[in-house]
Amino acid sequence: MSIRVDKISRTFGDTVALSQVSFTVGPGITGLLGHNGAGKSTLLSLLAGYSSPDEGSVRILDGDPRTDRALHRRIGVVPDGQGLWSHLTAREAVTALAKLRDVPDPAAAAAAALDEVGLTDAADRRLGQYSKGMGQRAKLAQALVHDPDVLLLDEPLNGLDPAQRRHMIDVVSNRAANGCTVLVSSHVLHEVERMAPQVVVLVNGRVVAEGETVGIKALLRDRPQTVRVTLAGDPRPLASALAGAVSTQAIRVSEHRVEVDTLDPEALGLALSRAAAASGTTLRSIEPVGDDLESLYAYLTARARGAAR
Amino acid sequence: MTIARIVFTRIFRAKRTWAIALLPALGVLTAVVARNSGRGAEAYGHQVRNLVIPIILALVALVISTSAIGDEREDLTILYLTQTTVPRLRIVVETWFSAFMATLVLMTPAVVAEMALGSSVGVGGGALADLVFAIVLAGAGYCALGVLLALLTKRAALVGLVYVLLWEGTLSGFAAGARNLSIAQHARSIVARNVDALTRSAIDPPSTGAGAAVIALLVAPVVLLALGQRRLQRMNLP
Predicted ipTM of the assembly: 0.91
The residues facing A211 across adjacent strands are A199
CB contact, 8 Å: B92 with chain A? no
Query: A304 vs A182, which has greater pLDDT?
Result: A182
Nearest to B181 by CA among B194, B193, B172: B172
DSSP string, A4-38: EEEEEEEEETTEEEEEEEEEEE-SEEEEEE--TTS
Cα–Cα distance, A68 to B70 (Å, whole number): 25
DSSP string, chain A: --EEEEEEEEEETTEEEEEEEEEEE-SEEEEEE--TTSSHHHHHHHHTTSS--SEEEEEETTB-TTT-GGGGGSEEEE-SS----TTSBHHHHHHHHHHHTT-SSHHHHHHHHHHHTT-GGGTTSBGGG--HHHHHHHHHHHHHTT--SEEEEESTTTT--HHHHHHHHHHHHHHHHTT-EEEEEES-HHHHHHH-SEEEEEETTEEEEEEEHHHHHHHHHTS-EEEEEEESS-SHHHHHHHHT-TTEEEEEEETTEEEEEES-HHHHHHHHHHHHHHHTPPEEEEEEES-SHHHHHHHHHHHHHHHH-
Cα–Cα distance, A183 to A190 (Å, whole number): 16
- What local confidence, expressed as pLDDT, does residue B170 receive? 82
Cα–Cα distance, B58 to B162 (Å, whole number): 11
Q: Is B208 helix (H, G, I), strand (E, B) or coil?
A: coil
Q: Are A83 and B75 in contact (CB < 8 Å)?
A: yes
**Rounded to two decimals, what is the model's pTM?**
0.85
Cα–Cα distance, B149 to B161 (Å, whole number): 11
Q: Count Cβ atoms below 10 Å from residue A26 Cβ, excluding itself.
A: 11
Cα–Cα distance, A220 to A203 (Å, whole number): 14
Q: Are A7 and A20 in contact (CB under 8 A)?
A: yes
| Mean pLDDT calculated for residue range A152-180 | 92
Interface of A with B (CB under 8 A): 45, 48-52, 69-70, 72-73, 75, 77, 79, 81-88, 96-97, 99-102, 142
Q: Are A97 and B87 in contact (CB < 8 Å)?
A: no
Per-residue b/e over A196-218, b at no fewer than 16 CB within 10 Å? bebbbbbbbbbbbbbeebeebee
Question: Given a cut of 90, is residue A243 above it in pLDDT?
Answer: no
| Mean pLDDT calculated for residue range A262-289 | 82
Percent of all residues in chain A with a pLDDT value above 90, rounded to a whole number: 53
Indicate the range of A1-10, A122-131, A225-234, B1-10 predicted with least confidence.
A225-234
- What local confidence, expressed as pLDDT, does residue A306 receive? 61
- What local confidence, expressed as pLDDT, does residue A291 receive? 53
Q: Is B150 helix (H, G, I), strand (E, B) or coil?
A: helix
- What local confidence, expressed as pLDDT, does residue A309 receive? 44
- What local confidence, expressed as pLDDT, does residue A123 receive? 97
Q: Are B79 and A49 in contact (CB < 8 Å)?
A: no
- What local confidence, expressed as pLDDT, does residue B138 receive? 98
- What local confidence, expressed as pLDDT, does residue A296 receive? 66
- What local confidence, expressed as pLDDT, does residue A268 receive? 82
Q: Are B85 and A77 in contact (CB < 8 Å)?
A: no
Residues of B with Cβ-Cβ distance to A86 under 8 angstroms? 75
Q: Are B84 and A72 in contact (CB < 8 Å)?
A: yes
- What local confidence, expressed as pLDDT, does residue A293 receive? 56
Cα–Cα distance, B119 to B7 (Å, whole number): 36
- Average pLDDT taken over every residue of chain A: 88
Strands A257-262 and A248-254: antiparallel
Query: A264 vs B202, which has greater pLDDT?
Result: B202
- What local confidence, expressed as pLDDT, does residue A159 receive? 79
Give the pLDDT band of residue A295 (cuts 50, 70, 90). Answer: low
CB-CB: which of A52, A79, A102 is closest to B79? A79
Within its chain, how far is the Cα of A87 from the centroid? 31
Residues of A with Cβ-Cβ distance to B71 under 8 angstroms? none
Q: Are B146 and B230 in contact (CB under 8 A)?
A: no
Question: Given a cut of 70, is residue A290 above it in pLDDT?
Answer: no
Cα–Cα distance, A204 to A153 (Å, whole number): 20
What is the full per-residue pLDDT of chain B (238 aa) written as tens digits? 999 999 999 999 999 999 999 999 999 999 999 988 888 888 999 999 999 999 999 999 999 999 999 999 998 999 999 999 999 999 999 999 999 999 999 999 999 999 999 999 989 999 999 999 999 999 999 999 999 999 999 999 999 999 998 888 888 777 777 778 899 999 999 999 999 988 999 998 888 889 999 999 999 999 999 999 999 999 998 7
- What local confidence, expressed as pLDDT, does residue A308 receive? 47
Q: Is B207 helix (H, G, I), strand (E, B) or coil?
A: coil
CB-CB: which of B6, B80, B85 is closest to A69? B85
Q: Are A264 and A248 in contact (CB under 8 A)?
A: no
Q: Report helix angle B58-74 to B125-152, nearest 10.
A: 30
Q: Are A89 and A125 in contact (CB under 8 A)?
A: yes
Q: Is B201 helix (H, G, I), strand (E, B) or coil?
A: helix
Cα–Cα distance, B56 to A54 (Å, whole number): 44
Q: Count Cβ atoms below 10 Å from residue B215 Cβ, excluding itself.
A: 12
| Mean pLDDT calculated for residue range A256-271 | 83
Q: What is the DSSP letter of B235?
A: P
Peptide bond into B238 cis (omega under 30): yes
Residues of A with Cβ-Cβ distance to B3 under 8 angstroms? 96, 100
Q: Are B141 and B220 in contact (CB under 8 A)?
A: yes
Q: What is the pLDDT of residues A27-86, one digit of tens each?
A: 999 999 988 888 999 999 999 999 999 999 999 999 999 999 999 999 999 998 778 999
Picking from A41, A69, A129 by the largest number of B CB atoms within 10 A of its own CB, the best residue to mutate is: A69
Question: Which chain B residues in 199-238 lie under 8 Å from chain A, judged by CB atoms?
Answer: 236-238
- What local confidence, expressed as pLDDT, does residue A53 receive? 95
Within its chain, how far is the Cα of B84 from the centroid? 30
Residue type, position A99, single letter = K
Using DSSP, how many helices (H) and how many strands (E) does chain B show? 14, 0
Q: Are A76 and B79 in contact (CB under 8 A)?
A: no
